[in-house]
A and B are shown apart, each in its own frame.
Chain A
Amino acid sequence: MAAVKINELHKSDLPWIVEIDESKCIQCGKCCAVCSFNSISPCVELRKKSANLSDSENTEKALVIKQNIGFENHCRGCGMCEAVCPNGAIKVIRNNDDMYAIRYRAEKGESLKRGGRSNLNTEGRTLDKIKIGRISQMTDPSLDPLRHTFEIKTQLGRVLSADKLGFEVNGNKIVETKTLPPNRWIYPIIFADMSIGALSSRMWEAIAIATAYLNEKCGMPICMGTGEGGIPVNLLKSRYLKYMILQIASGHFGWNRIIETMPEMTEDPAGILIKIGQGAKPGDGGLLMANKVSKYVQEIRGVPKADLMSPPTHQGLYSIEESVQKMFLSMNAAFNFRVPVAIKVAASVTSVSVYNNLLRDPYNIVGGFFLDGFAGGTGAAHEISLNHTGHPITSKLRDCYLAAVHQGRQGEIPLFAGGGLGQTGSFAGDAFKLICLGANGVFSGRLLLQIAGCCGNDTEKCNACSTGNCPAGITAQKECLSKRLDVDKVAENIVNFMIATDTELRKLMASVGCSTLPVGRSDALITVDKHISKRLDIQYSI
């Protein structure tokens, strides 16, 4: 055996320890076969046979399963080995004394990168301290989720105040006299933008199928954000384009194809989303590690196999006025002002300034403000950004809404909030509370991954989206892994989840006596936390 030195990586440094109960192990090899990280391997060890034999005869070779120790192939705790072990002989255990992050930086001289969400959830979630406390009882009847009709729809697109609609009255009828900014009525939950590349082609297609199915078979006009990793031409030419919110980020990946396909499009997209920032890693641009840049990704993005690091800002945008003109105007013009153009920024102390500027845009070309909180997920980021940058969504959304209220302009640029929704189990509850605080709608991406079978969590389980070794095939481009994902099953689960969420939203709307979306109805909310009450201007209840 080679000499062991203190400065090398040891098993006890790793974040996850694999334990095998040899009395149960039948050496079927399945655990090693399924491990996409190659973190465990069979090997032959020398064992002592008996205490009575002489040394020369006292060893025998034994086949055992051993954990590999290395920076590239350390165990991520995904648990696939546990899942396939017929005897329950293998276990992965979180090592709370790990030194991996320090060892990695010390050895590699690189910042640590991973996928997932912030793993330093020290503050607790504000949304969990808010309850829906104004229940319709006697003064107004609560509604019946079965009997009454509910309309769970919201607007995407610039909404003009009534006095600016340019209406004229002809007898008893109002007539339109001018072309107004494009405006769509959509479901208030948007499938957040995750790119092809970040996701496996199968996962991306499963979300697209679920989106189409929800629209066409379930009457739920859900939109899907495409992310910025190119859009398959087949989709651009199809009628399903109308459910897609095309994203343009700083890399502009795939936009040449979108532009070239315009003559063959039969539908307009639902919207365009200009991504400026992302809640999980504000200040960072997109990041796609070379392992995930498959042939298809190379082609659709027009790049070679390499780490793709998009700049954090759009080159050529140095002020908000320029942004409005260049990005909003150009994107509006691209579809001849028929498609709402929205913007996505990471929640930040400066969010209100941005929102105010956009509200005052005199050309009415800003069709939505997507605010992404720090608890959102990402396919790849520097861990330092994930854990230490960002802003909670709740107070910033509220600030933006109240800033609009202050000017009497609430609803003119619809607000969408995201970042960590459903993190503690109730997606509909989170969505409803944010809507009451002023969101016109919400968006979530990570949730879809969890619905699809993502095994990761916020206590460092897996978080390997960036590696291309996603054991669930959700964020892997390799055939052997991405084909683990069952497109039909994933789409089915997403559809089912949304139907359940729709029912739950109705349930909550009914209890507060609303048959339409209670945007800004903060009177329906209470909190048991004094600070939250003060900060969000909602009732303090104990």
Chain B
Amino acid sequence: MCRIGAIKSKKFLHPSLALKLMRSQQEGHDDSGFAFVMQDLGGIFEHHKDLPIISMAGTVEGIRKTEDILINKGFKSVLQWSPHISSKKGLKIEPMPNYMFVVVQYPKSHKYATKEEKEELLIDTYLEIRKVLEEDNSGYIYAFWPDTLVLKEIGSPKDIGTYFNLWEESPELCAKVITAQCRQNTNYDIVRYAAHPFFLEGYTVLVNGENTFFEKNRDYQKCLNRAYIGFESDSQCFLYTLHYLNKVLKWPVQYFKQVITPLPLEKIEQRPDKEVLLRIKASLANLEINGPNTILGVLPNYNMICVCDSKKLRPVVIGQNDDMVVMTSEVAGINDIMPDRDISKDIYPTESETVIVKNDLTVERWQQ
């Protein structure tokens, strides 16, 4: 099983907090990987919020090919950051030769481009780089998007933390939104792309779950958007559905649950908005997720969400204090990083609700 965690904070936080959040949940996963997404960045990235950051790992050749594409398209490097790699021996990690996090300036051609045109350019570039890297297996690109940093690696989360020097707090690397997952292993091959959190155009999703309708979801999503690719893990479907619904269809995020776990017809019949719900259930039947899952997500506006499957088969709990809201699989993780919170405010989301954490950290609970 995966263990997942998401932190949203008023203050900038270092990813070591995510490691600590996940540490107590070790026996809940198989100690096979660690990945995190940082959004709403501080530290050295704080003053480049509007500029895209490329998050990737690769061989020298992979890095070179990526740089070529960026240069050809007219992107200019503004800032480069690399993690401090530990030389400690015996760490349980399968590292890549290089990790690259580069802030780039948009090409001149896009100086006066609209937000949509810029986004189009970023997704084009992301897809092109991913394709080129896949050709000779020379690397992995996890994100190319403003204000977002993604790192994924195979190994023990503790040792991955040590390897990248993430246990030591440092003011240069921090963010207000951090999502993290332990376990690289999917039901399929161990592939870096298969590790959550999954990220696409400002949407981050991580899932503790199984998608028994994976094939159905995948078959449908493949035609919906050119960026819905990969499918190395059945959980990517959760991201694509959220992205499709909120970004493409522009539907409120409250409808995510109606799509992935639609209400039974007899319940819909009692609803004043039954016409809309019936249409959604019919039209997006191919995006239903059938299977146990807890989904944590971050939206482009940095709101955080949490939904569970309709049978509530997977665990999740939300803890909060004045500065921070934390969602994770097991309360032990929250106990570790927020020992002094008011536990009577802890939330155990039910099978029928969507929890939304706003940017002022108010927590909304929407009943399906």
B212 pairs with A174, CB closer than 8 A:
no
A513 pairs with B212, CB closer than 8 A:
yes
B284 at the interface (CB under 8 A from A): yes
B279 pairs with A153, CB closer than 8 A:
no
Residues of B near A407 (CB, < 8 A) are: 223
Residues of B near A513 (CB, < 8 A) are: 210, 212, 290-291
Interfacial residues of chain B within 281-295, with CB under 8 A of chain A in the complex = 282-286, 288, 290-292
Known interface pairs A411-B286, A518-B290; 4 further A-B residue pairs with C-beta atoms within 8 A, sorted by A's residue number: A155-B282, A410-B219, A515-B311, A516-B288
**What is the bound-complex CA distance between A31 and B313, given in angstroms?**
63
**What is the bound-complex CA distance between A148 and B351, given in angstroms?**
13
Question: Which size class do A's interface residues fall under?
Answer: 35 or more
Residues of A near B310 (CB, < 8 A) are: 515
Most buried by B among A140, A151, A411, A512: A140
Name the contact of B292 in the complex, choosing from A141, A405, A514 (C-beta under 8 A).
A141
B324 at the interface (CB under 8 A from A): no
B275 at the interface (CB under 8 A from A): yes
B212 pairs with A153, CB closer than 8 A:
no
B220 at the interface (CB under 8 A from A): yes
- Which of the candidate stretches B32-40, B83-91, B198-206, B243-251 sits at the interface with the other chain? B243-251
Cβ-Cβ contact count across A and B, 8 Å cutoff? 104
Residues of B near A174 (CB, < 8 A) are: 251-252, 255, 273, 276, 280
Known: A176-B275, A514-B212, A522-B215. A148 touches B282 (CB 8 A): no
Name the contact of B264 in the complex, choosing from A149, A180, A405, A520 (C-beta under 8 A).
A149
A425 at the interface (CB under 8 A from B): no
Name the contact of A153 in the complex, choosing from B265, B276, B311 (C-beta under 8 A).
B265
Residues of B near A408 (CB, < 8 A) are: 220, 222-224
Most buried by B among A148, A173, A515: A515
Q: Which residue of A lies closest to B1 (CB)?
A: A139
Residues of A near B291 (CB, < 8 A) are: 140, 513
Shortest distance between the CB of A473 and any CB in chain B (Å): 38
Known: A512-B212, A514-B212. A410 touches B286 (CB 8 A): yes
Known: A149-B264, A408-B224, A411-B286. A167 touches B219 (CB 8 A): no
Residues of B near A518 (CB, < 8 A) are: 213, 216, 290
Q: Which residue of B lies closest to A158 (CB)?
A: B282
B187 at the interface (CB under 8 A from A): yes
Chain B proximity mask over A395-423: 1 for CB below 8 Å, otherwise 0 = 00000000001011011000000000000
Residues of B near A512 (CB, < 8 A) are: 212
Shortest distance between the CB of B310 and any CB in chain A (Å): 8
Q: Which residues of A contact B (CB under 8 A)?
A: 136, 139-141, 148-149, 151, 153, 155, 159-163, 165, 167, 169, 171-176, 180, 183, 185, 405, 407-408, 410-411, 512-516, 518-523
Shortest distance between the CB of B27 and any CB in chain A (Å): 16
Known: A136-B212, A515-B290. A161 touches B187 (CB 8 A): no
Q: Which residues of B contact A (CB under 8 A)?
A: 187, 210, 212-216, 219-220, 222-224, 244, 248-252, 254-255, 264-265, 273, 275-276, 278-280, 282-286, 288, 290-292, 310-311, 313, 366
**What is the bound-complex CA distance between A136 and B212, given in angstroms?**
9
Shortest distance between the CB of A411 and any CB in chain B (Å): 6
Residues of B near A165 (CB, < 8 A) are: 279, 283
A176 pairs with B279, CB closer than 8 A:
yes
Residues of B near A171 (CB, < 8 A) are: 252
Residues of A near B290 (CB, < 8 A) are: 513-516, 518
Q: Which residue of B lies closest to A150 (CB)?
A: B264
Residues of A near B248 (CB, < 8 A) are: 163
**What is the bound-complex CA distance between A153 and B264, given in angstroms?**
10
Shortest distance between the CB of B290 and any CB in chain A (Å): 5
Shortest distance between the CB of A85 and any CB in chain B (Å): 52
Residues of A near B215 (CB, < 8 A) are: 520-523
B311 pairs with A162, CB closer than 8 A:
no
Most buried by A among B214, B244, B264, B313: B264
Q: Which residue of B lies closest to A523 (CB)?
A: B215
Shortest distance between the CB of B57 and any CB in chain A (Å): 28
Q: Which residue of A lies closest to B216 (CB)?
A: A520
Known: A515-B290, A516-B288. A172 touches B252 (CB 8 A): yes
List 6 tightest A-B contacts by C-beta distance, closest first.
Answer: A408-B223, A140-B210, A523-B215, A513-B212, A172-B252, A162-B283
B252 pairs with A169, CB closer than 8 A:
yes
28 A-B interface contacts by CB (under 8 A): A136-B212, A139-B210, A140-B212, A148-B311, A155-B282, A159-B285, A162-B280, A162-B283, A163-B248, A167-B251, A171-B252, A174-B252, A176-B275, A183-B278, A183-B282, A405-B219, A405-B220, A408-B224, A410-B219, A410-B286, A512-B212, A514-B290, A515-B310, A515-B311, A516-B288, A518-B290, A521-B215, A523-B214
B216 pairs with A173, CB closer than 8 A:
no
Name the contact of B282 in the complex, choosing from A159, A167, A172, A520 (C-beta under 8 A).
A159
